[in-house]
Amino acid sequence: MRRRITAVLAVLCLLLTGCGQTQMVETGPKRYEATFLDLFDTVTTIKGYADSEEDFTAQAQEIHDLLEEYHQLYDIYNDYEGVVNLKTVNDSAGGDPVEVDRRIIDLLLLCRELYDSSGGMVNVAMGSVLSLWHDAREASIDDPENAYVPDEGAIETAMAHISFDTVVIDEAASTVCLTDPDQRLDVGAVAKGYAAGKAAEVMPEGMILSLGGNVCASGPKPDGSPWVVGVEDPDGGDYLKTLAITEGAVVTSGDYQRYYTVNGVTYHHIIDPTTGWPARHWRAVTVVCEDSGLADALSTAVFTMAKEEGTALLEQYGAQALWVADDGELTWTDGFAAYFRDGAKQ
């Protein structure tokens, strides 16, 4: 069923009426906003300017429908009629190659490149480990009194099945094969940003998209001013920084986004590929770069690394980052300061 998007007019018009007076009507494009909740298990918001609500709604619907295609292709939990997706690939682990949409091939090729360049810190082949934490988190949130962490032995066993070397990608045949029957793919560290970037490619100039905090801008506002993006405080309250963005992507990975508590200890969803347990280096990492899929993957990888290692990875891709330490201290790469809304001294 095709879902309809309702646009919200985000401007205030002052109408002066009365005897002998002329009604004042605002001219030019107006700002609109659309929000929907049915993609990638998160909130998606589109903001932009259009001459009419009908025009904006049509644009938002096109973006939504494209994102829905990516959502279904990259889903590892659900089947869709007529769609061969990553769940299909996982279900066929240890069996024959699965012919898939080219968009799955392209995503996995990017993931393989990132796996190599990051020394395995971007690893979408560790679904067997991530599923243990996903199931524990969901069950513990539903039943806090019986909250639990995955069994150490189960984690150790699953860690033996996370090598990307057993993910066979045949571009010519457009097939994917998991040669390890106990391996599973989970592209959660990359998929939202990748899909957002693809949607941004078809957005009209001067719009901004937030897919669960993966923010992409397709140009400045009609008056030439930038979009303002806030860097969240992991403890709540005011934004730590505000960024001025005209194009490219801003993505944050943090320990405050998906987590649960067991015996007073908090366990978040960003798992260190070297240990199989939640990474403990940072509270949050925000990455800015031209490519949204890269920004998503890099923010996750850098979150699991010491700063020196993370900085080296960022430099490979010309990306910039801001780190939030456990004590709240902020540090950033030299190039990140250029995005501060009030200048580099902020």
The residue among 23, 326, 36, 77 whose CA lies nearest residue 185 is 77
Asked if residues 176 and 104 have their Cβ atoms less than 8 Å apart, the reply is yes
Asked if residues 70 and 198 have their Cβ atoms less than 8 Å apart, the reply is yes
Q: Which phi and psi angles does 96 have, rounded to 5°? A: -75, 155
Measured CA distances, 259 to 31, 124, 150, 161 (Å)? 35, 20, 14, 24
Q: What angle do CA 127, 133, 139 make, to 5 degrees?
A: 130
The ranges assigned to domains in the chain are: 8-13+28-76+189-339, 86-178
Tell me the pLDDT tens digit for each residue of 44-84. Answer: 999 999 999 999 999 999 999 999 999 999 999 999 999 99
Tell me the pLDDT tens digit for each residue of 137-149. Answer: 999 999 999 999 9
List the pLDDT tens digit at each of the 346 positions of the chain. Answer: 444 444 443 332 222 222 233 333 356 789 999 999 999 999 999 999 999 999 999 999 999 999 999 999 999 999 999 999 999 999 999 999 999 999 999 999 999 999 999 999 999 999 999 999 999 999 999 999 999 999 999 999 999 999 999 999 999 999 999 999 999 999 999 999 999 999 999 999 999 999 988 999 999 999 999 999 999 999 988 899 999 999 999 999 999 988 999 999 999 999 999 999 999 999 999 999 999 999 999 999 999 999 999 999 999 999 999 999 999 999 999 999 999 987 543 3
| SS3 category, 284 | strand
Residue count of the chain, please give it: 346
Residue type, 312: A
Asked if residues 295 and 319 have their Cβ atoms less than 8 Å apart, the reply is yes
Asked if residues 259 and 129 have their Cβ atoms less than 8 Å apart, the reply is no
- Residue 86 in tokens: 């990553």
- Rounded CA separation 73/176 (Å): 13
Asked if residues 147 and 121 have their Cβ atoms less than 8 Å apart, the reply is no
**Domain 8-13+28-76+189-339 shares a fold with domain 86-178:** no
Instruction: Tell how far CA 290 is from the center of its chain.
Output: 14
- Residue 232 in tokens: 């969240």
Place of tokens 């490619």: 201
Say what angle helices 102-117 and 292-303 make with each other, to 10 degrees: 40
- Residue 123 in tokens: 């690893």
H or E element in which residue 72 lies: helix 53-74
The residue among 282, 268, 288 whose CA lies nearest residue 328 is 282
| SS3 category, 334 | helix
The structural architecture, per CATH, of the domain 8-13+28-76+189-339 is: Roll (3.10)
Q: Residue 247: which residues within 8 A CB-CB, separation 6 or more?
A: 217, 218, 219, 220, 290
Rounded to a whole number of angstroms, the CA Rg of the chain reads: 22
* Buried-exposed string 314-343: b where 16+ CB fall within 10 A, e elsewhere: beebebbbbbbeeeeeeebbeebeebbeee
The structural architecture, per CATH, of the domain 86-178 is: Orthogonal Bundle (1.10)
